[in-house]
Structure 1
Amino acid sequence: MKQLKLIAAAALLAATAFSAHAADQEILITPDLTYKFDGVATTTDSLLSDGTDVLTFTGLAAGWYSVELSVSGNYVNLTSASINGQLPFSLVNGSKTTSALFEITSQSPFTLALNGDLVNEKLAKYTGQITVSAVPEPETYGMLLGGLGLMGLVARRRKQQQQ
């Protein structure tokens, strides 16, 4: 009976450890806006001025993030995108969904730079969506495995004491 309770407790602990994760954060992209995750935005320059639009996102702590970027446009030729100047995304024919993994090394905001040119200045527009998901650090998995190992050791010792 004690073993059954111990196994049930270990299974419950393992199940709760795997279900803990940060929620995805989706931000709809409109050109030349500075975004915060509370939805506040301020308008700045015109569409793809000097061939680049830069969007700034704040509110993320330092750590690893998985980013999925989806951009589509009309009368605009988007050629590439980068986050904090690294991990360039290749955008084919102005429409692309792609993903990458990157690290924010400080509490500072991260920037998404979209590069391209306008096919028709008066009709040009683009829209997009970016999804940012927190990625567990390797230490998290190490602690999980260490805890499961300790639970196994405790179960083994109790089994030996009962014999």
Structure 2
Amino acid sequence: VMLKPGTSVRIEAQGDSRILAGLRRAAAARGFREDPASEVILSGSAGPGQPEKRTYQLTSFGRLGGSQTEEHTVTPWIQRAEIRYRDQSAWGTQSGGVPFFVTFQEGGSLGTELQKSSQASYDMFNDLKLPEELLYPRYQKGLGSTQITVNGFVDKAN
């Protein structure tokens, strides 16, 4: 087990101080110790993602008439947290993105609702939950395999 209570982790945050505070809070909640020399790295970042172009079909409930489409390009705000062992990813989570489905009240606009996904936010780091235990990345797909041959079982390690 690579990560369990008492494990030392190096915390790396890019950008806003709320990211670092959230990572430290989440690590402490799981009983991890902060150590700048650790090979287990807990990292976090937040910032604009890649612009995405989407076409939305507008429909109105309770009204007669056809539907129309609108195309919008939105640059989403993405929040990420990751646990790595050396240079291998062991766990990660992400929040943000451009919604596929949007609802809004009469008088509102699709563009206004979509722009909300571009606004800076650090909410994910307020209640970030890290796994209690985590295997080393090389063991996450199993410890090996067993082949059945005419001579019996043959174990193969990963």
**Which structure would you say has the larger RCO, counting Cα contacts within 8 Å and 6 or more residues apart?**
1
Query: TM-score, normalized by length of structure 2?
Result: 0.25
Q: Which has the higher strand share?
A: 1
Q: Which has the higher helix share?
A: 1
Query: TM-score, normalized by length of structure 1?
Result: 0.24
